[in-house]
């Protein structure tokens, strides 16, 4: 197996053709010339397939599953990918186990599943509650690790083994870690699902989602869902994301190193409480994270003394932007409570560390803390 950098640069890039671009440009086509039988045509109609998706899907599959053949299916957002798995695979009467500390849209997804007659059990990502929530009727176990924004981590291998013993499919939201941080399929999961809007694209200019799996039948069902529901990615977005993957290893390594430097600096500040980053040696998730992750991600979360303090802090930042989302090359932070969807204190800040110089980010954060205290 080649190294991460070599894989990132070459993932999904076709064999060189004389006088063709190394990464072919986006193919804009609602339909393709179609002589004869559509069953043997690689491309026929734009909702079914597009060569620009195919190249991106090969790239993502090569990152999530370098040693074995896996299939990736791309979607126009992370939520479209999540819906394809949960709404596409679960039927009335089935049961599913989902985290209660996951991405802020997940409670809405749980409500929708319940309204369709799916029994939903929830459990926090840390501890053993997810294991205890599994039952013989569980068809899907959904994990998000590290969980956004609380950054608890769960043991994918252990949970996947327990869920498989009950006949459940195991899906992991791999958005925060990225495939260079963690490979859920190698840890026993059936599906690795992610929002590529975050670090995978990394430039804050594309929304994207994907599902990767090794099982051909499962992949076919997810692909069929996309064709039937019509949740399709634009070719321009697909191409931009593929172009960005060439630097994914550089970005995520730099961001993880910067995030650790930032977390170490924030740890020294008395006004910072509840500091979390899985790479910090004394983080409650560190031992487990160190076993299953290769990089600990770019997110650092912490709590400041109240809403006003946090707002003054965010206002005073100059390099770190006040914006939602994470994983981009530019550092951003936000008071997560402003959305009202996460069970977090009013002063809770989710910080996404970018690729700027660590010293500059740290100086900006420490200066803004001083300004907020005045
Ligand atoms: C952002 C995010 C999603 C949703 O992705 P979109 O691309 O915004 O639809 C899902 N899971 C996690 C962990 C996320 O951070």
| Tens of pLDDT, residues 178-231 | 999 999 999 999 999 999 999 999 999 999 999 999 999 999 999 999 999 999
CATH code for 248-373? 3.90.1150.10
Contact 194, 79 (CB under 8 A): no
Per-residue pLDDT of 310-323, as tens digits, reads: 999 999 999 999 99
Structure confidence at residue 341 (pLDDT): 77
CA of 31 to the centre of ligand 1 (A): 30
Cα 289 from chain centroid? 16
Which ligand 1 atom minimizes the distance to the CA of 198?
1
Confidence (pLDDT) at 11: 97
Helices (H) and strands (E) in the chain, counts: 12, 12
Within 180-317, strands assigned E span 191-195, 209-213, 273-276, 299-303
Q: How far is the CA of 175 from the centre of ligand 1 (A)?
A: 7
Pocket probe for ligand 1: among 102, 104, 105, the residue whose CB has the most ligand atoms within 8 Å is 105
292 lines ligand 1 (CB under 6 A): no
Taking only the tens place, the pLDDT of each residue in 24-81 is 999 999 999 999 999 999 999 999 999 999 999 999 999 999 999 999 999 999 999 9
47 belongs to the catalytic site: yes
Domain 4-245 class, CATH top level = alpha beta
Average pLDDT over residues 320-339: 96
Sequence spans of domains, the chain: 4-245, 248-373
Judge whether 357 counts as a catalytic residue: no
Question: Average of pLDDT values for 331-350?
Answer: 94
Distance CA 203, CA 211 (A): 21
Is the full-model pTM beyond 0.95? yes
The pLDDT > 70 percentage for the chain reads: 100
pLDDT at 1: 75
What is the distance of C-alpha 145 from the center of its chain? Answer: 9
CA-closest residue to ligand 1 atom 5 = 78
Catalytic residue chosen out of the listed positions 198, 214, 254, 350: 198
Instruction: Check: CB of residue 296 under 8 Å from CB of residue 279.
Output: yes
Lowest mean pLDDT among 294-298, 307-311, 328-332, 342-346: 342-346
188-214 b/e (C-beta count within 10 Å ≥ 16 → b)? bbbbbbbbbbbbbbbebebbbbbbbbb
| Order of strands, sheet of 273-276, starting from the edge strand that comes earlier in the sequence | 273-276, 299-303, 348-352, 332-335, 321-322
Strand pairing partners for 299?
Answer: 352
Catalytic residue among 103, 190, 223, 276: 103
């Amino acid at each position: 197996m080649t190294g991460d950098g070599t894989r990132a640069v070459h993932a999904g890039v076709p064999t060189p053709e004389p006088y063709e671009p190394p990464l072919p440009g986006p193919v804009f086509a609602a339909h393709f010339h179609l002589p004869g039988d559509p069953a043997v045509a690689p491309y026929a109609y734009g909702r079914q397939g597009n060569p620009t998706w195919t190249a991106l899907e090969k790239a993502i599959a090569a990152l999530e599953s370098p040693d074995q053949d896996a299939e990736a299916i791309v979607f126009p957002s992370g939520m479209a990918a999540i819906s394809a798995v949960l709404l596409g695979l679960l039927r009335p009467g089935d049961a599913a186990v989902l985290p209660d500390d996951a991405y802020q849209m997940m409670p809405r997804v749980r409500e929708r599943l319940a309204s369709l007659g799916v029994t939903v059990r929830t459990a926090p990502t840390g501890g053993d509650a997810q294991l205890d929530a599994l039952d013989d009727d569980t068809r899907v176990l959904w994990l998000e690790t590290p969980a956004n924004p609380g950054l608890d981590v769960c043991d994918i291998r252990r949970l996947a083994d327990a869920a498989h013993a009950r006949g459940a499919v195991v899906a992991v939201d791999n958005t925060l870690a990225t495939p260079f941080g963690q490979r859920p399929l190698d840890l026993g999961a059936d599906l690795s699902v992610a929002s590529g809007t975050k670090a995978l694209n990394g430039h804050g200019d594309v929304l994207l989602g994907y599902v990767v799996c090794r099982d051909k039948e499962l992949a076919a069902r997810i692909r069929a869902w996309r064709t039937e529901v019509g949740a399709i990615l634009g070719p321009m977005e697909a191409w931009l994301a593929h172009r960005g993957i060439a630097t994914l290893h550089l970005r995520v390594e730099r961001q993880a190193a910067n995030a650790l430097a930032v977390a170490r600096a924030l740890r020294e500040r008395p006004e910072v409480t509840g500091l979390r980053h899985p790479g910090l040696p004394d983080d409650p998730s560190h031992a487990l994270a160190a076993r299953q992750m290769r990089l600990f991600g770019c997110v650092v979360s912490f709590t400041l003394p109240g809403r006003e303090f946090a707002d003054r802090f965010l206002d005073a930042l100059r390099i770190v932007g006040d914006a939602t989302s994470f994983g981009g090359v530019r550092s951003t932070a936000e008071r997560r409570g402003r959305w009202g969807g996460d069970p977090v204190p009013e002063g809770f800040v989710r910080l996404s560390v970018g690729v700027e110089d660590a010293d500059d980010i740290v100086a900006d954060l420490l200066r803004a803390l001083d300004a907020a205290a005045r």
